[in-house]
Structure 1
């Protein structure tokens, strides 16, 4: 499906996504420079293939999309891999993160090439903030109980993955995603960002209202705190797959490709 200016408006009318919390950030968002480069970063329990459908839509819209494959070992390793991808871009770049990758985006987003940030059901800590402690101030999401550890690496059980991570994905497709999920190191979630790029860069946020991996109220809190242009998507944690068109449209807005 070709992205066009009517797609997002139609989604809004249909109730798929609703703009929230724009506030004073609206003026900043409207002045984001028009860019053609997009770098997308995957979260935990996934790999870069989770962006495939979004990438196809961005390419149809004339954007140059690059997906980072990072090792899910440490925050620092993810940031390093992302910085390498940004360095290869030929100009201003939109940096997009899903889930855990919101931390990577917050850190690597300080790169001068990064013109704007997009968070998709993502962590968005402040500089030096203990995200785990922040998350504990909200009700624990069900997925966390399904994490199984072995020899220093963890994966979601199949039941937790299908029900709590990919709840609105057709079961056959979700089982394929389960099979390729990336195991996470027990050090991955211990890292803290040293910078918060969203404090100085225009930011967008897609809240997943049916999320069972990150509490939707925590997502709303982080989006409001960063003064992001925010939409709500009736989706599981994997809105980038179940509602790829809405996520691609949001990224296109961040790129300034929509008037």
Structure 2
């Protein structure tokens, strides 16, 4: 396992990123977002709200008000309701940010009137009513999928898959801590479909992880193009919010009209 980690790390250009603007022929170019001082961040599977700590500290230093949603990881309606409660409390334009599975939440709850822009970080971005699992199957299956194990209806990642396929560019000690605090998810969570596609009406941004072992990077590129997002590519594992917090922060600041 450690040999795989070292081989993986040699492929990374840590901190390097290239920007591109992705447009889709069927979508209008995303409008310029209004200036926002609020940021609401949502975590995905195998994590909790603390995974945003590095990004939150940087955003707070820039004067932004940040709130991390504690995603219950039970059902999609439960997760959307938790995010909406936080969005309701915001006092003005809000950048809504999601990692991994929580892109489903952005897509559904991002139509909230307080949301001024959306930032997807290696995240799912389905269309309204789309079967995301079917979409994902049109691309090669990422290796982390084989590392999901279930205790009844409760799912989690094995330690090997977490260290190698989920957070492969993190220092091993840091990845082991994150593994220890991962939150299990319920099978029912994966059956939900969105009824909205907030990215069709809100300015959208996407951070692609090019070394992602959890969501296929080409699937990420497809979703970014389809939504007409302003996108960046990072030589990162799935956990770019932890391994590349400066770049993720910069993208969020741009979405807040503060770049």
- Structure-1-length-normalised TM-score: 0.92
Offset of residue 17 of structure 1 = 1.2
Q: Deviations over 1:132-159 (max 9, x none)?
A: 0000000000000000100210110000
TM-score by length of 2: 0.92
Alignment partner, residue 100 of structure 2: 99
> Given that residues 116 and 254 in structure 1 are in contact (C-alpha distance below 8 angstroms), is that contact kept between their aligned partners in structure 2?
yes
Q: CA deviation at 1:59?
A: 0.2
Partner of residue 28, structure 1: 30
Give the Cα separation in 1 of the matches to 2:15 and 2:68: 29
Matched residue, 1:9: none
Query: Structure 1: how far apart are the matches of 2:164 and 2:70?
Result: 25
Task: Specify the SS of the correspondent of 2:169.
Answer: coil
> d(CA) in 1 for partners of 2:248 and 2:15?
14
Alpha carbons 1:74, 1:189 under 8 Å: kept: yes
* Cα deviations by residue, 1:150-189 (Å, 9 ceiling, x for unpaired): 0210110000000000000100010000000010101111
**Helix, strand or coil at the partner of 2:30:** helix
1:190-229 equivalences under 5 Å are: 190-229=191-230
CA distance in structure 2 between the partners assigned to 1:230 and 1:35 by the alignment: 19
Which whole-Å CA distance do the structure 2 matches of 1:175 and 1:206 have between them? 24
Contact 1:16 1:233 in 2 (8 A): yes
Question: Which residue in the other structure is 1:44 paired with?
Answer: 45
1:20 deviates by 1.9
Counting matched residue pairs gives 244
Cα distance in structure 2, aligned partners of 1:37 and 1:226? 23
Between the aligned partners of 1:233 and 1:125, the Cα distance in structure 2 is: 21
1:174-207 Cα offsets, whole Å, 9 max, x none, are 0000000010101111000000000000000000
Q: Which residue of 1 aligns with 2:82?
A: 81
In structure 1, C-alpha distance between the alignment counterparts of 2:215 and 2:52, rounded to whole Å: 19
Which residue matches 2:9?
A: none
Q: Match for residue 143 of structure 2?
A: 142
The equivalent of 1:167 in structure 2 is 168
RMSD over aligned Cα atoms: 1.5
Partners of 1:77 and 1:229 lie apart in 2 by 29
